[in-house]
Amino acid sequence: MNAPDKNAYPGKLAWLWAMPNIAIGLFILAVGAFLFFYHHQERDQRRMGLIEDLLWQEQSIHQHLENTEETLTILAKDMMQQTPADQRFHARAAFQLKINPEIIDIYWVDEHKIIQWHSAEQPEPARLSALSAEAFNRAKLMNHAVFSPVRSTGAAEAWFELHAPLTKNRNFRGVLVARISLQGILKHMVPWWFAERYQLSILDSDGLLLASKLDIPVSDSELSYKLNFDPPGYGLLLHASARKSAAERAPKLLEILIVGLSLLVLWSLWALRKHTRHREQAEQDLRGEYAFRTAMENSMATGMRAVDMEGRITYVNPAFCRMVGWSETELVGCLPPMPYWPPDSQDYAGEIFNAMLHGEAPPEGTERCFIKKSGECLDVLIQSAPLIDTKGRQKGWMSSITDITERRRTQEDLAAAYERFVAVMEEINAAIVVTDAQSHALLYANGYFKRVFGPTAGAEDFCLVAPHYWQAATGPSARIPADVFDTEIHINQHWFHVRGRIFKWVDGRTAHMEVATDITERKQADELSRRQEEKLHFTARLVTMGEMASSLAHELNQPLTAIASYATGCINKLKYGESAQDILPAMEIISVQAQRAGKIIKNIREFVKKSEPHKTPALLADILEESVGFAEIEARRQAVEIRLDLPEAPIEVNVDRVMIEQVILNLVRNGIEAMSGQARRHLSLSARCTADGFAEVCVSDSGNGLSAEAANQLYTPFFSTKPDGMGMGLNICRTIIEFHQGRLWHDPNPEGGTRFCFTLPLGV
Amino acid sequence: MSKVFIVDDEQAIRDGLHWLFESCGIQAVTFASGEAFLDSYHPDLAGCLLLDVRMPGMTGLELFERLQQLGCALPVVFLSGHGDIPMAVAAIHHGAVDFIEKPASDNQLVEKVAGCLRQDEERRQRMAVAETFRARLHALTSRELEVMHLILAGRLNKNIADELNISMRTVEVHRARVLEKMGVNSAVELAQALAAHEAQELRQTIQKS
């Protein structure tokens, strides 16, 4: 899935948002303009209607007042002609009053401004009021019906008077006055529809209200019109203001409705926007969350696989695809058996899968083998959890698959390495032991150590083979790691080659390690080979001797054969009766050959003479110490303790040092060998000066001693008590000692065993 | 005349032995080394060989092996000194007649050599007879050989004639010539002579191998 384009989207959204905003703004403007124009036009129309209606009304009233004027003029004429036609006049006047209800009173004023007659019942001042008098005068003057100004008397109705002059025979005879009520005019002359539509009122020149149709007060409507109300004139104004009717109020309601709805639309738009913003934010969050999760999924090495309740794969993450080598499209929708199940154990894989579907998979996970598309085997750990949707229903199972091939291999490698280590350490033919340098606690011991040293070493403080070497070798200044010692130790009839090393143990503390190898066999082999070598040397010597003897025999054989041949020939010839003269040359040859044989013998003696001992002065102590030094290796091997017992005064002798050393070495070896198998193995060498001017050396062993038979044959050549002995040693020894004018003998050791002694003359 | 051929590097011994054999009437020829003897060797030599085992240059044993390769049938007696007895024994195994340890006592050596000389003489005679017989066989024509084989098979002349598709007379002539050439008087003698010859040949073959 691609990451959403965060830059593109808000721009588009802004456009999307601007469109309805602009549309609604334009719509409201249009509606407002429409309403304004509509309202304006309506008002103009109404204004025109008002003016028309008012003009018509004014015309109508004007007409009516002219009619009244005419009627009153006629009435005045009639009255003058039918003098006294009271009765008739009264009736006509009453009649006029009756048909013109706005005329509230008709009265007759004579030329003296005296009211002669009065239609009204109520007493009336006989004199004319100043206002009426002015009209009276104008009527008299003009001889024409004249309207008086309006007279308004406080609470009473406002009225004006129509003064019609009475002339008789061209003589002025007073006036007939009709008093007309303004209220009456409005009441009787304005039709109902007009009153319904307009509030009609009459104002004086100062704008004061004189009368009005219906007494409902009208607010100062914007729609009103004024006309001069003439007659009666005098600055009277007819004022009509439009009344608000239901039909008139309807457009207002519509406007309100429109505005209200517009507001509602704006509000809803705002609310929608707010909601959308909210959603957008949520979506943004969700997208972020989704991207985070996708990144997480893509980055994680753990494979994820979701299956529905039937086992169909509904989801796999890239790690899983990488793991098994199949693509997402190949895997999604797969039903068991899955392509990555190993073909040879499909049934087993199916069982495990079904167990998972039934929720019986172990929570710690199942280890399984998957087969990659490439055919490789993959060890995985599968852990499953139910997949719950938002409504809380289980939709399937989500499994995490961890590749444990490497881990398992590492584990196996580690285990194998450990096994190898253990096997090697346990099977190694050497004891290996590690102890703490301070506490001497056992840190490690291999099987060999436990087998060989276990019981004895465990009982001691030191779990070591050679603890004493450590005490000598370890000091505070010891370097670490370092080889401390390398030695050979004899324990329990075995020889061990022990190497000590000081080093840092795995936890950092200083530890002592010993590696002890059983070298008994090697020692024995060495011993054997040493002996064999000695034997070989000896044999070689013998062979040389044999060869010498052989060549000697050959050398001697030649003259002897010649002699024998000649002698036999001579005998033969003598037998056959030949003379002595005949055999004389042969006899001479025999003599020569005999001399030759003698010469050979002489040569041998001279050869032997060349290897005679070479005497030099030496200290006996030096000779003994050196001889013991030679024998020490052998002695240690045989665990024989050699004790050297020398007098303080040095003893000087004149000897062939090598020969005497050979004698001592020989005696010491004999002694050591005589004690093999003995519990007590002590060999002591002692030297002293005898009274008769000899140095005496004794070698005493603690062996079994010599049997009588052995003692008798001790110096017989080729006699030996040892299985591989030559029977030459003591013989030679005696020869050497006797050559030095000394003596060699033996006697039983008082402490058991045998003592061999020899004497040497003291040096000068 | 049979002789004893003495090979020894030591002048005194050669002379001594020569003196000894001379005293007994045996002719002796001496050689100072094996190489010297090989130089003068030819197959017709008669007598026996007396070889010293230990010699500088070619040893007695080496000379013996060389002579065997050459087909020499002379009897050989070794003279062994001290220490080379095992070598002499080995030589016996390879066909030498005997060995005598130096120094030899009395006439022991002479007797042994005399025995060898006799043995060689006998051998030579046998060889000569066999050679004669072989020469006679070679003298037979192929037809005569055919006839001889059939005679030895015990056929009668008549049968031989039928088999070889020749006349009876001719068979008789062939038969007579065969007996004449082979130096025998009858078919029985012929068969005996052939049997002896074959035994001799066989013996020689065995010896050579």
pLDDT in tens, A531-559: 777 666 666 655 666 666 667 777 788 88
Confidence of residue A698 (pLDDT cuts 50, 70, 90): very high
Q: Cβ A562–B10 below 8 Å, yes or no?
A: yes
Q: Cβ B83–A568 below 8 Å, yes or no?
A: no
Segment A460-476 mean pLDDT? 63
Contacts of A554 in chain B (CB under 8 A): 54, 81-83
Strands A377-388 and A394-403: antiparallel
How confident is the model at residue A461, as a pLDDT? 46
Identify the closest residue of chain A to B17 by CA–CA distance.
A565
Closest-CA residue to A161 (of A72, A54, A43): A72
Task: Flag the least confident range among A346-355, A593-602, A708-717.
Answer: A708-717
Does A558 contact chain B (CB < 8 Å)?
yes
Joined tokens for residue A534: 């000695």
Segment A575-600 mean pLDDT? 87
Task: Flag the least confident range among A292-301, A468-477, A579-588.
Answer: A468-477
In-domain check, residue B89: yes
- Using only C-alpha atoms, chain A has a radius of gyration, in whole angstroms, of 82
Q: Is the pLDDT of residue A48 over 80?
A: yes
Q: Are residues B44 and B147 in the same domain?
A: no
Q: Cβ A553–B16 below 8 Å, yes or no?
A: no
Say what the pTM is.
0.35
Contacts of B103 in chain A (CB under 8 A): 557, 560-561, 563-565
CA dihedral B7, B10, B14, B19 (to 10 degrees): -160
**Shortest Cα distance, chain A CAs vs residue B122, angstroms:** 27
Confidence of residue A170 (pLDDT cuts 50, 70, 90): confident
Q: Are residues B167 and B79 in the same domain?
A: no
Mention every residue, 6+ apart, whose C-beta is less than 8 A from residue A501: A481, A482, A483, A484, A512, A513, A514, A515
Contacts of B104 in chain A (CB under 8 A): 561, 564-565, 568
CA dihedral A697, A703, A704, A706 (to 10 degrees): -30
- Regions of chain B where pLDDT drops below 70: 82-84, 105-106, 206-209
The answer to whether A396 and A307 have CB atoms below 8 angstroms apart is: yes
Contacts of A560 in chain B (CB under 8 A): 102-103
Segment A433-440 mean pLDDT? 82
Nearest to A565 among B20, B54, B81 (CB): B20
Q: How many CB pairs lie under 8 A apart between chains A and B?
A: 79
The answer to whether B76 and B47 have CB atoms below 8 angstroms apart is: no
Q: Cβ A560–B104 below 8 Å, yes or no?
A: no
Domain boundaries, given as residue ranges, for chain A: 28-242, 251-291, 300-410, 428-518, 524-609, 616-761
Cα–Cα distance measured from residue A59 to residue A65, given in angstroms and rounded to the nearest whole number:
10
**Shortest Cα distance, chain B CAs vs residue A597, angstroms:** 12
How confident is the model at residue A426, as a pLDDT? 82
Q: What percent of chain A has pLDDT over 90?
A: 2
Q: Are residues B27 and B69 in the same domain?
A: yes
Q: Are residues B151 and B109 in the same domain?
A: no
Q: Is the pLDDT of residue A597 over 60?
A: yes
Q: Tokens 């060998």 identify what position?
A: A673
Q: Is the pLDDT of residue A162 over 60?
A: yes
**Shortest Cα distance, chain A CAs vs residue B16, angstroms:** 5
Q: Cβ A589–B16 below 8 Å, yes or no?
A: yes
Q: Cβ A563–B54 below 8 Å, yes or no?
A: no
Q: Cβ B16–A561 below 8 Å, yes or no?
A: yes
Mention every residue, 6+ apart, whose C-beta is less than 8 A from residue A242: A46, A50, A197, A198, A199, A221, A223, A224, A248
Query: Which neighbouring-strand residues pair with A377?
Result: A371
Mention every residue, 6+ apart, whose C-beta is less than 8 A from residue A692: none
Q: Cβ B19–A557 below 8 Å, yes or no?
A: no
Q: Are residues B47 and B112 in the same domain?
A: yes
**The domain at A524-609 falls in which architecture?**
Orthogonal Bundle (1.10)
The answer to whether A751 and A702 have CB atoms below 8 angstroms apart is: yes
Q: Cβ B13–A564 below 8 Å, yes or no?
A: no
Task: Flag the least confident range among A9-13, A274-278, A660-664, B30-34.
Answer: A9-13
How confident is the model at residue A453, as a pLDDT? 76
> Any alpha helices (H) in A428-519, and if so which ranges?
447-459, 467-473
Does A584 contact chain B (CB < 8 Å)?
no
Q: Are residues B113 and B23 in the same domain?
A: yes
Class of the CATH-defined domain A428-518: alpha beta
Does B15 contact chain A (CB < 8 Å)?
yes
Fold of the domain built from segment(s) A616-761: Heat Shock Protein 90 (3.30.565)
Identify the closest residue of chain A to B83 by CA–CA distance.
A550
Q: How far is CA A317 from CA A385, A386, A390, in A?
A: 16, 17, 21
Q: Are residues B104 and B8 in the same domain?
A: yes
Contacts of A566 in chain B (CB under 8 A): 16, 19-20
Q: What percent of chain A has pLDDT over 70?
A: 86
Identify the closest residue of chain B to A587 by CA–CA distance.
B16
Nearest to A586 among B10, B19, B106 (CB): B19
In-domain check, residue B23: yes
How confident is the model at residue A458, as a pLDDT? 46
C-alpha distance across the termini of chain A, in Å: 118
Q: Is the pLDDT of residue A759 over 90?
A: yes
Q: Are residues B61 and B144 in the same domain?
A: no
Task: Flag the least confident range among A25-39, A84-98, A299-313, A454-468.
Answer: A454-468
How confident is the model at residue A196, as a pLDDT? 76
Q: What is the largest CA-CA distance in chain A?
A: 265
Beta-sheet strand order (sheet of A209-212) = A209-212, A198-203, A237-242, A224-228
Q: Is the pLDDT of residue A407 over 70?
A: yes
Confidence of residue A216 (pLDDT cuts 50, 70, 90): low
Contacts of A589 in chain B (CB under 8 A): 12, 15-16
Q: Residue B147 belongs to a domain with what CATH number? A: 1.10.10.10
Segment A32-48 mean pLDDT? 83
How confident is the model at residue A226, as a pLDDT? 80
Confidence of residue A697 (pLDDT cuts 50, 70, 90): very high
Nearest to A553 among B24, B83, B107 (CB): B83
Which amino acid is residue A428, in one-letter code?
I
Do A300-410 and A524-609 agree at the fold level? no
How confident is the model at residue A610, as a pLDDT? 58
Q: Cβ B16–A562 below 8 Å, yes or no?
A: yes
The residue out of B92, B121, B150 marking a domain boundary is B121
Q: Are residues B144 and B107 in the same domain?
A: no
SS3 call for B101? strand
In-domain check, residue B134: no
Segment A663-683 mean pLDDT? 83
Domain ranges, residue B195: 140-208
Report residue A657: phi and psi, to 5°.
Answer: -55, -45
Q: Which of A543, A550, A561, A576 to mutate to test the interface with B (most CBs of B within 10 A)?
A: A561
**CATH superfamily, region A28-242:** PAS domain (3.30.450.20)
In-domain check, residue B129: no
Segment A279-297 mean pLDDT? 87
Does A560 contact chain B (CB < 8 Å)?
yes
Closest-CA residue to A640 (of A692, A700, A553): A700
Q: What is the CATH number of domain A300-410?
A: 3.30.450.20
Q: Are residues B62 and B148 in the same domain?
A: no
Does A568 contact chain B (CB < 8 Å)?
yes
More confident residue, B38 or A451: B38
Using left for φ > 0, alpha for ψ between -120 and 50, and beta otherwise, residue A705 falls in: left
Does A553 contact chain B (CB < 8 Å)?
yes
Q: Is the pLDDT of residue A724 over 60?
A: no
Q: Are residues B151 and B191 in the same domain?
A: yes
Nearest to B82 among A550, A566, A586 (CB): A550
What domain count does chain B have? Answer: 2
Segment A727-756 mean pLDDT? 82
Cα–Cα distance measured from residue A518 to residue A498, given in angstroms and rounded to the nearest whole number:
9
Segment A140-147 mean pLDDT? 81
DSSP for residue A153: -
Segment A59-71 mean pLDDT? 84
Which amino acid is residue A129, in one-letter code?
S
Does B42 contact chain A (CB < 8 Å)?
no
Q: Is the pLDDT of residue A586 over 80?
A: yes
Hey, which bits of chain B come out as E strands?
3-7, 28-31, 47-52, 76-80, 98-101
Q: Are residues B17 and B102 in the same domain?
A: yes
Q: What is the ipTM of this complex?
A: 0.72
In-domain check, residue B41: yes
Cα–Cα distance measured from residue B20 to residue A583, given in angstroms and rounded to the nearest whole number:
11
